[in-house]
Structure 1
Amino acid sequence: MFKKAFFTGIPVAVLCVGLLTGSCQTARSGRQSEAGFKSIFNGKNLQGWDGDTKYWRVEEGTLVGEITPATLLKTNSFIIWKGGTPADFELKGSFRITEDGNTGINYRSEQLTDIPFALKGYQADIDGKIRYTGQNYEERGRTTLAYRGEKVTVNTQPNASDPASFRANVKNNAWQAREVTGSLGKSDSLQTLIKSNDWNEFHLIIKGNRLQHYVNGVLMSDVTDNDTVNRKMKGLLGVQVHVGPPMKVQYKDLRLKQL
């Protein structure tokens, strides 16, 4: 912003102090916002992660998940961060996905024992056609908790721990015991802020029972989970390749701040 300063008699240093609403403040606040974040992916190899190397690799500093015609999936597969089971945290990074791709960032999740590299839990949904990107979807659980643009409160249903009652509360791939309490914007309008087949930044803020998903600095979904029977307050982190056609997803600059 200050490549050339044609402000006669006003030192550039003074401009930086005076224009606190401009790029100087942005740069400083940007540095402050990174305080406490630690990288969880080294960009060189899969150290610290566990997944099926048929689908996951490192390429040009990015974590790559790819399905080819020869490696089509029967069940969704994750690569799982082995550094702990975060409870309250912020997670930042960037993703790029091909048009036919489907992926997601799982958190507060548990690993299944009967299916290789499968996670059950909250997911920040991402897809190449940008139908679902930004929503909150519970993998192998309550399904959709909040669509893009929704502020939602999730309540406990009577007998929600009973399998039959649980299934009855899932209709049209969405959990019925959810109440839309506010709007973050129309889904179609928010969709225009997400770039197709290009890099997008994500930021998850997970604190207590409040789950916020940001893409490119914009809040896309906001869930308050009061369902004490089904919610999870800590668990594994992982990223997904989804059953479907050949696809490729890349993640980079993954960094975590535990709160």
Structure 2
Amino acid sequence: MFRVFNLILFLGFLMTGSSLVAQETGFTKLFNGKNLDGWIGNKDSYRAENGMIVINPDGDGGGNLYTEKEYGNFILNFEFKLTPGANNGLGIHAPLEGDAAYVGKEIQILDNRAKKYAELQDYQYHGSVYGVIPARRGFLKPVGEWNKQTVIVNHPKIQVILNGTTILQGDYLEASKEGTLDKKEHPGLERSSGHIGFLGHGDVLYFRNIQIKELK
């Protein structure tokens, strides 16, 4: 019964919830904890170290690291640890060329508490679909602690769960039908599959326990 309830919530978004735990059954590891096999892109800035994907400051911390495989609908679980002022992103349905925030979709990964981000637009804070749907704030753990995040995609619906609380739930095509919040073109909103990636902005971050369950 619990699995049936979760499936309805994941795929139908028939109710809003503040707490949701994705099931481990049927998940596949995207990161083996040892190397970046299965990933493509900037392997100078990103490295495997002690069971984590680390953004390497010596490699400038920029650039993108993508899964070799493309994904459509899925449940993605991962953990991340921020450093002060850190900024990164989770790309979904992305091609390998172009800015994933526009040619795909970008889910913000950001140290919301940093003073330099105090004047951002609502759609730029952690968990937001960049430029399109703002996320709720106040659920990140302090910098230096591990956060757990789940991203559920059933095109065009998306849900982001941070540390057990739903911070974003919506339909990105519906949200943008009268224009996007950032007033820019986002052709990637129409894409229903593509690569998953980490989108660097020159800052140090850590990722681990990255796993995915594909949905039909």
How high is the TM-score relative to the length of structure 2?
A: 0.72
Q: State the partner residue of 1:90.
A: 75
Work out which of the residue numbers 209, 213, 220 in structure 1 matches 2:156: 209
Contact 1:67–1:241 (CA<8 Å) still a contact in 2? no
SS of the counterpart of 1:219? strand
Does residue 41 of structure 2 align to residue 41 of structure 1? no
Q: Superposition RMSD on alpha carbons, in Å?
A: 2.3
Q: State the partner residue of 1:77.
A: 63
Measured against aligned partners, the alpha-carbon deviations of 1:106-147 in whole angstroms (never above 9, x if no partner) come to: 1111111xx7xx64421221112446112111xxxxxx1111
How many aligned residue pairs are there?
A: 172
Distance 2:172 2:85 in 1: 31
| CA positional deviation for 1:193 | 4.5
| CA positional deviation for 1:100 | 2.2
Q: State the partner residue of 1:134.
A: 127
SS of the counterpart of 1:100? coil
Bigger-Rg structure (1/2): 1
Does residue 69 of structure 2 align to residue 110 of structure 1? no
Q: State the partner residue of 1:250.
A: 206
| CA positional deviation for 1:192 | 4.5
Residues 1-259 of structure 1: pairs in structure 2 closer than 5 A: 33-68=23-58, 71-72=59-60, 76-82=62-68, 84-112=69-97, 119=100, 120-130=103-113, 132-137=125-130, 144-149=131-136, 187=137, 191-226=138-173, 230-243=189-202, 247-259=203-215
Distance 2:60 2:146 in 1: 25
Gaps spanning 5+ residues in structure 1: where?
1-28, 138-143, 150-186
| CA positional deviation for 1:59 | 1.1
Distance 1:91 1:77 in 2: 21
| CA positional deviation for 1:37 | 0.7
CA 126–62 in structure 1, closer or farther in 2 if over 3 Å, else same: same
SS of the counterpart of 2:71? coil
Contact 1:88–1:208 (CA<8 Å) still a contact in 2? yes
How high is the TM-score relative to the length of structure 1?
A: 0.60
Distance 1:92 1:255 in 2: 5
| CA positional deviation for 1:72 | 4.0
Distance 2:105 2:155 in 1: 14
Q: Which amino acid aligns with 1:59?
A: E
